[in-house]
């Protein structure tokens, strides 16, 4: 006999736990299954984001930022310290405590919402049957009217750089026991830049090898240019057009061979992070005959409403098309739960913000200048540097800028691009304005507190019509 639910969610990561909680709020009987274990070997809900992604990396970014400030910014404020040191064990322990707090928080939320958790690996079978190989032993069979697959994603492993003690993915790079003297990274994407920054700030010599010839190719070109300049000042050695072909773990470190326009070269590092993207975690997830289709990259095929085309089966988050971002998964999870309840669930893919938590932070929403040019959309750009914002200079954080892109005829905001302190928060001015179909003039006429970093957004919006007050237009 299989236990029957209204909704079964496979995966308790950002997309899955949002779907489960929203479905429970809407009065449905919900089960949520997750196979992950925490560092202590016990089941841990929250997915990659909470266990080994967004939250732990931010904990380390914040710890390393404090240490970096001590050596690089405190002096400007007249503060001097002697013999500053970082205790990596304490830093990692703090990170682990935060992870435990938040993964435990999901378990409490499940309890409060009467969601039944199952711990083990779930396989979807035909006729909406889910079989779970439970960690506690034995297989259990569940069925539901609706099943939401939120299986997430795994790091891509390169055939010539197998993960082990010295070659790691994002999970390994969160748990070093000491600062590596030489830290290599393959891939100057989001993970490479964030974790490269953590260990660079703590004193590692960091070399990042990026296959593409352009830095941050997905971002607005000006964002790429300005942030590359800042990273160079921090001595992050980013080598573009560098195609890695081999690695070998030897006594003196990991030998990494790559080819760039100067020919074949080798670097030797103590630890190597491979951060070349992630792939949908759909291996062994679907039994024969479910009717759910995977695309060539192993992603579950869905329509605009996250429906798989098989009655009652939906998929959300990293295992379906779209950016692999926790907050995109949040929105899809909520939308699907609402659609199941007969409500108008919806995700606006045009206003999903991107944030890279480096120093300075990088964030954007909407179209880049390059995309608008390629699409033949007439636009106006207004930008404003943080170096002219009183609050930013008072904080000793003058790097970066805000750029607002608006339609040349309608003035509607089409994109906002930011580099600077706290832009992970400021980008939401752009998200909100775009959601409300706002114009650059709308933003320019909204009173912003002085002194605040948000004045850069205000002046950038004013600069769209060449009327920024604090710079020559």
50 touches ligand NAD by CB under 6 A: no
x/- mask, ligand NAD, residues 155-184, rule CB under 6 A, reads: ---x--------------------------
Distance CA(28)–CA(7), nearest Å, equals 7
Q: How far is the CB of 57 from ligand NAD (least distance, A)?
A: 7
- Whole-number Cα distances in Å, 131 to 121, 124, 136, 150, 300: 8, 7, 14, 16, 19
Q: Residue 139's CB: how many other CB atoms inside 10 A?
A: 11
Does residue 38 bind ligand NAD (CB under 6 A)?
no
Q: How many CB atoms lie within 10 A of CB 86?
A: 18
77 is catalytic: no
Residue holding tokens 């909470």? 50
19 Cβ contact partners less than 8 Å away, ≥ 6 residues apart: 7, 9, 148, 150, 316, 332, 333, 334, 336, 337
In the complex with ligand NAD, which residue's Cβ is closer, 210 or 369?
Answer: 210
Encoding tokens for residue 346?
């919806």
Q: What is the four-CA torsion angle of 323, 328, 334, 338, rounded to 10 degrees? A: -50
Print the binding letters for residues 354-373 with ligand NAD: x by CB under 6 A, - otherwise: -xxx----------------
Which residue, 159 or 289, has its beta carbon nearer to ligand NAD?
159
Report residue 243: phi and psi, to 5°.
-100, 115
The span of 174-182, 220-228, 269-277, 302-310 binding ligand NAD (CB under 6 A) equals 269-277
* Residue tagged active-site, from 72, 450, 458, 470: 450
CB of 193 to ligand NAD, least distance (A): 8
Q: What are phi and psi of 5, to 5 degrees?
A: -125, 165
Q: How many residues bind ligand NAD (CB under 6 A)?
A: 25
- Footprint (CB under 6 A) of ligand NAD, residues 182-211: 186-192, 194, 209-211
Which of 8, 275, 423, 461 touches ligand NAD (CB under 6 A)? 275
Contact pattern from residue 209 through residue 248 relative to ligand NAD, giving x for each residue in contact according to CB under 6 A and a dash for the rest: xxxx------------------------------xx----
**What CA–CA distance (Å, rounded) separates 61 from 82?**
23
Query: Contact residues for ligand NAD (CB under 6 A)?
Result: 158, 186-192, 194, 209-212, 243-244, 275-278, 323-325, 355-357
Instruction: Write out the catalytic residue numbers.
Output: 450
């Amino acid at each position: 006999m299989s236990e029957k639910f209204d909704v079964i969610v496979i995966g308790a990561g950002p997309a899955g736990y949002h779907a489960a909680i929203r479905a429970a709020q809407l009065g449905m009987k919900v089960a949520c299954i997750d196979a992950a274990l925490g560092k202590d070997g016990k089941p841990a809900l929250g997915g990659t984001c909470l266990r080994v992604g967004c939250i732990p990396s931010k904990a380390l970014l914040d710890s390393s930022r404090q240490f970096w400030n001590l050596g690089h910014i405190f002096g400007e404020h007249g503060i001097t310290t002697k013999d500053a040191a970082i205790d990596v064990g304490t830093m990692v322990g703090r990170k682990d405590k935060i992870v435990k707090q938040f993964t435990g928080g999901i378990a409490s939320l499940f309890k409060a919402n009467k969601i039944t958790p199952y711990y083990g690996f779930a396989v979807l079978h035909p006729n909406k049957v889910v079989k779970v190989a439970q960690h506690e032993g034995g297989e259990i069979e569940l069925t539901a009217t609706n099943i939401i697959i939120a299986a997430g994603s795994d790091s891509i492993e390169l055939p010539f750089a197998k993960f082990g003690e010295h070659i790691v993915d994002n999970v390994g790079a969160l748990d070093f026991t000491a600062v590596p003297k030489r830290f290599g990274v393959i891939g100057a994407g989001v993970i490479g830049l964030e974790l490269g920054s953590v260990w660079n700030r703590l004193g590692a010599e960091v070399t990042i090898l990026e296959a593409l010839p352009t830095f941050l190719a997905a971002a607005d070109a000006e964002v790429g240019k300005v942030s590359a300049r800042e990273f160079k000042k921090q001595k992050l050695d980013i080598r573009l057009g560098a195609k890695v072909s081999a690695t070998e773990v030897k006594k003196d470190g990991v030998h990494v061979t790559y080819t760039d326009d100067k020919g074949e070269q080798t670097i030797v590092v103590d630890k190597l992070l491979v951060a070349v993207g992630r792939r949908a975690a759909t291996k062994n997830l679907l039994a024969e005959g479910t009717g759910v289709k995977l695309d060539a990259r192993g992603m579950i095929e869905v329509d605009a409403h996250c429906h798989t085309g098989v009655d009652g089966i939906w998929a959300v988050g990293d295992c379906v098309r779209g950016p692999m971002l926790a907050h995109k998964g949040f929105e899809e999870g909520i939308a699907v739960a609402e659609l199941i309840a007969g409500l108008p669930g919806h995700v606006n893919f045009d206003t999903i913000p991107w944030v890279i938590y480096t120093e300075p932070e990088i964030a954007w929403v909407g179209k880049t200048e390059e995309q608008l040019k390629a699409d033949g959309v007439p636009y106006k750009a207004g930008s404003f540097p943080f170096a002219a914002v009183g609050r930013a200079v008072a904080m000793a954080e003058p790097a970066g800028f805000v750029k607002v892109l608006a339609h040349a005829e309608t003035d509607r905001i089409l994109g906002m691009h930011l580099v600077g302190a706290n832009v992970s928060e400021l980008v939401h001015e752009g998200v909100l304005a775009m959601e409300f179909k706002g114009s650059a003039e709308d933003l320019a006429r909204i009173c912003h507190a002085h002194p605040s970093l948000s004045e850069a957004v205000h002046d950038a919006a004013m600069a769209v019509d060449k009327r920024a007050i604090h710079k020559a237009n």
